[in-house]
Amino acid sequence: MLYKEKTKLWHDRNLRTKELRIGQKVLLFQSKLKLMPGKLKSKWIGPFTIVALRANGAVELRGSDPNSNSFLVNGHRVKLFRDSSELCVVEEISLRMPALSSL
């Protein structure tokens, strides 16, 4: 029993919470893909936009097409979609010393 309690504490400590907000883009895990063989098929489909968040952990999603219907999925089946527009601007700093003038 002691091993089981310690293992549960370790797993609970290492859980990551998802901070989902309305309007974010997410990818949806495609669980039916397990039945079809193929290494190179992606298990994630999307992107979808979050329309609503429910108290029980369900997430209401809508496709990228404005005319698409919304549908409910479990919140554990989604992950954040990171597109290239969210990249940070990095400032380049030169490490070379400027030439010193002779004194």
CATH of 18-84, one of 1.20.930.40, 2.40.50.100, 1.10.3720.10, 2.30.30.140: 2.30.30.140
Residue 8's pLDDT is 92
The domains of the chain are located at 18-84
**Category of 45 on φ-ψ map: left (φ > 0), alpha (ψ -120 to 50) or beta:** beta
pLDDT surpassing 80 at residue 33: no
pLDDT tens string 50-98:
999 999 989 999 998 878 899 999 998 999 998 776 566 777 877 777 6
Taking residues 36-42, what's their average pLDDT? 68
- Provide the percentage of residues in the chain whose pLDDT is more than 90: 43
Element (H, E) at 48: strand 44-53
Residues contacting residue 18 through CB under 8 Å, at least 6 positions apart: 75, 78, 79, 80
Whether this prediction's pTM lies above 0.95 is answered by no
